Chains A and B, each alone.
Chain A
């Protein structure tokens, strides 16, 4: 493996991984509150389609980004209404939102298929640009979302482990009865987590259409939502470990692209399978110990005191 290939892989990993990172961070926050959001795939699609459409109409990618974040929050709040207020089954509710995302994103994006937009601007700090080995790659030439990715992960970590809100959230996800006994309303925390998760998910989706590809196509997220759910488990619900996980999977995607670009003899189909199989393999290898790290009340409905 030559250095240019490795650097190219790294660059690709970071580019692919950005969207995955935001999506996984959002899902981590939501799962820390005890909710599994199987509809993440739909959420990402909504973010991608809304971001793209608003950008295509307004010509301003920042507006598209903000719209995507808002749309994401709305979608997750709808999930929250089902799961928290109506106390519906989380898995079925997540799938309902997934369907909704499939349909809504297709409708929203349909008029704009094939449109050319001005995507999120990328830049590279001068002192890095001067390095010759950097110039040959796409390394360090990132849009704002990629530059902020690691700091955002750090912020989420701080939020979960160093603030009063984060402590309450974690308690809600582990033992909502105890959280309730401490004077907190688990439902409020879950709604807040879903809101934040929705914003991050919308941003994650928007990054795909506004930065990574610059286009919109139906189902363009290709299962990233489910990979993100697996990554949350892989990272033991810890925002900092999420960074490692997303680099790994971003790298897998980048590797697939690189191999295809270099005319590899491996069929493109087999290459495309790689991320999904890797996800399963990863879940398998670390499955057992991960279960203990899960928020104890994940997936359960809190019925409140009698």
Chain B
């Protein structure tokens, strides 16, 4: 990127180490952050980037090593210490109070807030900073009404008003649409020009090359390389991240053309569903999934993805329109009936939304199977177990001990149990929401293979994902969802991320290609 004259080292670590049980999260990390620089911290899940940033923010105490600010040794016992020294952090889950206004949220984090605050004076201060750095927002709006991009602006404003000089951001672009990402990078540029130091954590290679001045790569708790962005390319970065050159760069596998059946397995026609509590309304949806087809749905968070999934499942009722599944009108079918007819549902959060933590693996596997295993007042456990074991084997997953409570399994293992259960009865339609979110590279690839497998056997997949790369690879057709309506439909290969991004944020009129 640009070559800003390098200011002196603002924040430095020497020999930082942190161990969590058997895992060495950080191992002798020597790191340097300069003022006026945008520095990217790159690495796969579990590389240690999160730990490093938490240490720098005082959230976590290191086992060994030292931290220097402006060349002087500092002790960061709590986030309070870090903030007092001008180090601020924006987490992946924003530390915002949804019910309070933007102004109140910022007031909450001010270090010099008087006992009886003066809202107008504070508002003036905020607006001055907001204009300088391109962070303008409506101060009186309750935070829960803001888009994710705007919420992120509030987080940054909080840091600036608390006189932070070092801004650490954890995966800031994960939930943003392409043009919101551009806006964020412009903010970085404005901040950098005034001497702020920005450290952002990510695993998205292409962004990093676009916007960072310097890139540090971590792997298994160690720094494997630190380069100027101007001298970096995808290949070298991937090598530093993975230690070897994989056959293709992560997430860039070749899409495979697949035969698609004639009649749709699943169809929504002019379907709409009203507002309900915190969920938005869905308007006039036309969605159809054919046998052997993967239909992808893209959208920024809050566009109605969850609502769409719930509508397909039968959790949300249809106000108008029809829903057909395997040729029948299922508009008013219960969830149990839909599942019995061959609908599988993979929710965003396996443990939170598809498993019962306190019950055993066996009992969890028995849920949602309709009447298949009913026997008198109990269940035919033998038949259930054998069917499930077959399912695990078909997916090349190890069979976990059936008596264990699901809560004792790791997150990845819980996901495998849910997947084995959902795929055990040859589903005709798989509705999957962000199925690879938070998974490491290999597990994500396994899930994608699983979904393709369902299609190969004649089922259809409705894949709701926030990862445009993944959708590019997987989707035979792409729908773009915005504010509860479909604003764009594209067949495979006929779209570009920038265009879809604009649709995702409603910045462009609907387009059908």
Contact = CB atoms under 8 A, between A and B. Distances in A.
Contact of A167 (B83, B98, B107, B111): B107
A177 B93 CA distance: 10
Interface in B83-99: 83, 91, 95-99
Nearest to A176: B97
B513 interface: no
A171 B97 contact: yes
Interface stretch (B113-121, B383-391, B459-467, B487-495): B113-121
Interface string A177-216: 1110111000000000000000000000000000000000
B59 A305 contact: yes
A171 B115 contact: no
Nearest to B109: A182
B278 interface: yes
Interface string A83-114: 00000000000000000000000000000000
A141 interface: no
A262 interface: no
A183 B83 contact: yes
Interface centre among A174, A175, A291 (most CB of B within 10 A): A175
A179 B277 contact: no
A179 B108 CA distance: 8
B116 A162 contact: yes
A178 B97 CA distance: 7
Interface residues of A, number: 22
A58 interface: no
A167 B278 contact: no
Contacts of A165: 115
A168 B115 CA distance: 11
Contact of B278 (A179, A182, A292): A292
A191 B79 CA distance: 23
A170 interface: yes
A306 to B, nearest CB: 8
Contact of B97 (A162, A175, A305): A175
A264 interface: no
B227 to A, nearest CB: 33
A163 interface: yes
A171 B110 CA distance: 14
Contact of A168 (B79, B99, B108): B108
Contact of B95 (A168, A170, A177, A291): A177
A171 B277 contact: no
A133 B79 CA distance: 64
Contacts of B183: none
Contacts of B111: 183
Contact of B115 (A164, A181, A291): A164
Interface centre among B59, B83, B95 (most CB of A within 10 A): B95
B116 A164 contact: yes
Interface string B296-321: 00000000000000000000000000
5 contacts: A164-B107, A170-B97, A178-B108, A182-B95, A296-B99
Interface of B: 59, 79-80, 83, 91, 95-100, 104, 107-109, 111, 113-117, 277-278
Given A162-B117, A174-B99, 16 more contacts: A164-B114, A167-B100, A167-B104, A167-B107, A168-B108, A174-B97, A174-B100, A175-B96, A177-B95, A181-B91, A181-B109, A182-B108, A183-B83, A296-B98, A296-B99, A305-B59
Interface of A: 162-165, 167-168, 170-171, 174-175, 177-179, 181-183, 288, 291-292, 295-296, 305
* CB-CB nearest 3 A-B residue pairs: A178-B95, A181-B95, A174-B97
